Amino acid sequence: MKPLFLPVTLQEARTRGWDPVDFVLISGDAYVDHPSFGPAVIGRWLEANGFSVGIIPQPDWTDPGAFDVFGTPRLAFLVTAGNMDSMVNHYTVNKKRRRQDAYSPGGVINKRPDRAATVYSRKLKKQYPDTPVILGGIEASLRRMAHYDYWEDRMKPSLLMDTKADLLVYGMGERAMVEIAEALDSGLSASSLTFIRGTVFYTRNLDVIDQPQVLPAWTTLQSSKKQVGKSFLKQLENTDPYSGQPLAEPYETGFIVQLPPAAPLTTEEMDQVYRLPYVRQAHPMYQRAGGISAFDEVKFSLVSNRGCFGACHFCAITFHQGRNIQTRSHDAILEEAEIMIQDPSFKGYLHDVGGPTANFQQPACSKMATAGACTHRECMTPDPCPRLEVSHEEYVHLLRKLRKLPKVKKVFIRSGVRFDYVMADPDPTFFEELCRHHVSGQLKVAPEHADAQVLDLMGKPPVEVFESFKKRYETFNDKEGKKQYLVPYLIASHPGSDLPAAIELALYLKEWAHTPEQVQDFYPTPGTLSTVMYYTETDPRTDKPVYVPKDPAEKKMQRALMQFRLPENHALVRQALNKAGRRDLIGRGPDALVPPGEEVKPHPARDQKDRQKSSKKKSHSKMNHSKK
């Protein structure tokens, strides 16, 4: 029997005998019934566990009737902003409105409000004061405790305090959501659900929880940036389901309590989630509007794993999914691939096989698999942990099986390969098969920067590791006669990146003879250590001050330095070099970054002095990094 979409109208729900529905799921995204979309996963998972779900995708929040499609649900409203944070979805790092929304039909903007989870929840609490409202998704997960908000440039309280919702689910949510559904179905009130892992709730006193770790109070966080850093580190130490402890954040009238993360899904449970009867299409109501472009990107991609022990400091995956790796079985992945192959629009190309990090297909070490990640040690940086167990064997076997499927011409890996993990593997098989079979002309990698101090603050390996990978990649491709290139992800204006650091990156790109097609500024989003550094201008791990480029003019200069070859950037690059005292890099010689311009007049004595200062600073930075 062909799968049906979950109901989006009351008539569709009644056709299934669902009136009322158990849950009404409000989403900021258009409805795509595919396992890459969180609302579909949660809706289908609840359905598989015996609960009825109606979906209201992208309701018009200015129309009170938009939330009345199914009437009052029997158990609760579920609210998510969608697959992306609504503010990141709407605004560039320069806080300018984006022109398209990949999760809306035809890319149309303004189909969801800013801070969608907040707006939807407040509307529901006003219209349905006696019905529980439960928050979930990435926007809620990363705002579950007090956090710095880049768009308002201030600290904001837990989203529960802002919305007055009854409960917040953080992380991926399948396990917690079924426990919530069963508890509500048994007659328990939402206010009594103070025992479900992977959730956050408000309480007037701490009698309901056993020995929580108490974080700095909200009033303290508003006045002390140092305490903001300490609070975030404590939260980061408790993101592991094996070692995490309950956390309590005091407010004037009570406490926000975060229970430890839900246990990771087993391979069997992961298989169940991805084997649910998804239609694997955007809802047909969007066809006339042009479809959903975000779905086009993942339609023929396979999710093989969750979690990431890479723990880049600018990435929120650690805070959301955790460092524990969860994987699917090869059989389940092959079954899904065979479903894709039957799609009339399949052209023979599987676009991706991976997850947050494609080549993390097993726990970092045997300890992590049973006792969780270390709270005071990162797995990959500044050097790989001695206990790190590196193997690509399972991944290689999976990719080989996928390549052998009938009608499959090529299997690509596009979700990101951790190059330092590749370099740590003494077996070259994965590297060779990656280059030989799984690159679509360009391999995307993430060195992010070249300056030692910036890389350390990013939680990335030294540039020498990337350089070794790059040379190995180029050598292998030359040997095979392949014209395949590396496309690096690079971040400008990350905490710690001053103009000398940005110039060092430009010089590295010059030596590489590479001009990035796209560059990005660091985007301070909730749930990352780098965002805490941005706000506090301190590394909370050491209490040492960190330079943070916040001036828009300097950020433009740093971005221009990454594309110094482009004529339209020459004036900005000369301005940056002049300001940093690196006029020796302006000229027509082989060492110059840009040709001379009328706005900069040479001053030999002063330039010589500036070069000496810059050289001393660079040597000092490298010496400090080598000590670490």
Say if 584 falls within a structural domain.
yes
Confidence of residue 369 (pLDDT cuts 50, 70, 90): confident
Q: What is the per-residue pLDDT for 74?
A: 98
Say if 268 falls within a structural domain.
no
Q: What is the per-residue pLDDT for 612?
A: 54
End residue of a domain, out of 191, 225, 258: 258
* pLDDT tens track for 119-139: 999 999 999 999 999 999 999
Residue 106 has pLDDT above 90, yes or no: yes
- CA–CA distance, 30 with 291 (Å, rounded to integer): 9
**Which CATH number covers residue 161?**
3.40.50.2300
Residue 370 has pLDDT above 90, yes or no: no
End residue of a domain, out of 213, 234, 258: 258
Q: What is the per-residue pLDDT for 600?
A: 44
Name the 3-class secondary structure at 349: strand
- The residue segments making up the domain with residue 583 are 486-628
* pLDDT tens track for 395-427: 999 999 999 999 999 999 998 899 999 999 999
Q: Residue 74: which residues within 8 A CB-CB, separation 6 or more? A: 20, 21, 22, 23
Say if 562 falls within a structural domain.
yes
Residue 175 has pLDDT above 50, yes or no: yes
For the four alpha carbons of 386, 387, 393 and 395, in that order, the dihedral sign comes to negative
Say if 179 falls within a structural domain.
yes
End residue of a domain, out of 240, 258, 276: 258
- CA–CA distance, 551 with 238 (Å, rounded to integer): 34
Q: Residue 398: which residues within 8 A CB-CB, separation 6 or more? A: 304, 330, 333, 353, 361
Q: What is the per-residue pLDDT for 517?
A: 85
Question: Residue 563 corresponds to which tokens in the numbers above?
Answer: 């594309």
CA distances from 487 to 400, 439, 447, 457 (A): 25, 11, 10, 22
Q: What is the β-pairing status of strands 167-169 and 199-203?
A: antiparallel
Q: Mean pLDDT, the chain, as a whole number?
A: 93
Q: What is the per-residue pLDDT for 355?
A: 93
Say if 526 falls within a structural domain.
yes
Say if 388 falls within a structural domain.
no
Residue 505 has pLDDT above 80, yes or no: yes
Cα dihedral: 323, 420, 229, 240 (round 10): 10
Cβ burial 163-189 (10 Å sphere, 16+ → b, else e): bebbbbbbbbbbbbbbbbbebbeeeee
Q: What is the per-residue pLDDT for 617?
A: 43
Name the 3-class secondary structure at 326: strand
Q: What is the β-pairing status of strands 349-350 and 301-303?
A: unpaired
The type of residue at 548 is V
Residue 209 has pLDDT above 80, yes or no: yes
Say if 79 falls within a structural domain.
yes
- CA–CA distance, 436 with 421 (Å, rounded to integer): 19
Q: What is the β-pairing status of strands 213-214 and 247-250?
A: parallel
Say if 320 falls within a structural domain.
no
Closest C-alpha among 206, 355, 184 to residue 274: 355
Residue whose tokens read 């110094």: 564
Residue 628 has pLDDT above 50, yes or no: no
**Helices in 448-520 by DSSP H: which ranges?**
452-458, 463-480, 499-512
Residue 384 has pLDDT above 50, yes or no: yes
| Lowest-pLDDT choice from 489-493, 543-547, 617-621 | 617-621
DSSP assigned state of 84: S
Confidence of residue 624 (pLDDT cuts 50, 70, 90): very low
Q: What is the per-residue pLDDT for 275?
A: 97
Q: What is the per-residue pLDDT for 620?
A: 42
Q: How many domains would you assign to the chain?
A: 2
* pLDDT tens track for 599-614: 444 455 545 554 554 4
- CA–CA distance, 235 with 217 (Å, rounded to integer): 14
Name the 3-class secondary structure at 442: strand
| Lowest-pLDDT choice from 108-122, 396-410, 587-601 | 587-601
Angle at CA of residue 546, ends 544 and 547, nearest 5°: 150
Q: What is the per-residue pLDDT for 375?
A: 87
Question: Residue 221 corresponds to which tokens in the numbers above?
Answer: 């966080």
Question: Residue 294 corresponds to which tokens in the numbers above?
Answer: 């975000």
Residue 305 has pLDDT above 60, yes or no: yes
Among residues of the chain, what percentage have pLDDT more than 70? 95
